[in-house]
Chains A and B, each alone.
Chain A
Amino acid sequence: MENVKHPLSKYLREDRMPHMWCPGCGIGTAMNAFMHALEKSGLEKNDIAVVSGIGCTGRVAGYVDLDSFHTTHGRAIPFAEGLKATKPDTKVIVISGDGDLMSIGGNHFIHAGRKNMDLTVICVNNLNYAMTGGQVSATTPVRSITATAPHGSFTTPFSLPFLAEASGAVYVARWTVFHIRELQKAMLEAINKKGFSFVEVISPCPTLYERRNKMGDGLARMKFYKENSIVKNGADTKETNIEINKPFVVGKFIDIEGKPTYLESMNKYYDETFQCQLGYKTYKGTRYSCNISDGGVSEGCMDD
């Protein structure tokens, strides 16, 4: 019966299917949308790398049939930066959870934005630390019941589009897994964007967040998204707070051109500073390059 092939099979590690995500979990739909975006991007598989941290969402790295890094908790972005630094021609895409990217890893996120690292960050925001049993994360809405807030959470969550914009991201969008076509398009635009691009994916965690908050199963949550999301492209990211059981804004908020990336800024600066120095070469990745030595050779300091 099952000798048929799924159309996204080329991006999937079929031997790892079925995946570990619960029934009605939105992470699978987010990964599905990501694979559609890859297909439309026309990128070769060898030109893409996926980096995840730890969490249910972090498992994406183990399910994509691409070069991928399943890193340590909170550190997906630094690993991705290292990878991008050595191989600037590779499209490096970080996919991880709200706990991983915005709680323990929040500092890396804001600085990658500040420096305009040429990365795409996709955050599956299920409003809690799911893998470890559903604790409060940096995005948990006030009054949510969680394992660490049995009477309701009372700390102010981050609004991720606002945080991303303030940090310097050149592309910022938020969609839910219900907005499937918009989500695919946003992922594609983010992947094609030069500089630090960010897509927030609001997604159900029916096993922990929705269950504790009596919000029903994954499908009930999809219907909630359908009825309660306000599509507002270009909205001020100050309006993107999420309050429990209230309507919230989705859309594309930021899409700017022309801001130099980290590598472009570095090369411009060093080109100006070291242009007369013997042996100086503009950095293009470890494959080609060279360091500034005291007048020494500058041929391929790393070979591969």
Chain B
Amino acid sequence: MSAKGKVNFMVERCKGCGFCIEFCPVKVLEFSKDYNMKGYHFPVAAHSEKCIGCNMCGMYCPDFAIWGEKNK
């Protein structure tokens, strides 16, 4: 089954606060092992198949680094 939504990233803006990971209702996101250029772990879609495109991640992100969208 294909995912209902898709999550997008601008990882270089991320400051690793973890809000998106914590408040994703279906736990799509996890911290990366890698660092971005500023030295923060950023979120990755570890379970992209679960994404419902609700954009809770996008609404919480203080840094405009992530957002979700529904698949058409």
Contact = CB atoms under 8 A, between A and B. Distances in A.
Interface of A: 1-2, 4, 6-8, 12, 17-19, 21-29, 31-33, 36, 177, 180-181, 184, 217-219, 222-223
Interface string B6-41: 001011110111110011000000000000001010
A173 to B, nearest CB: 17
Main SS of the interface on chain B?
Answer: mixed
Contacts of B22: 219, 222-223
A4 B60 contact: no
Interface string B38-54: 10100000000000000
Interface of B: 8, 10-13, 15-19, 22-23, 38, 40, 56, 58-64, 67, 69
Contacts of A17: 13, 64
A29 B10 contact: no
13 contacts: A2-B10, A6-B64, A7-B67, A24-B18, A24-B62, A29-B19, A29-B61, A31-B62, A32-B59, A181-B59, A217-B17, A222-B19, A222-B23
A122 B14 CA distance: 25
B27 to A, nearest CB: 15
A24 B11 CA distance: 15
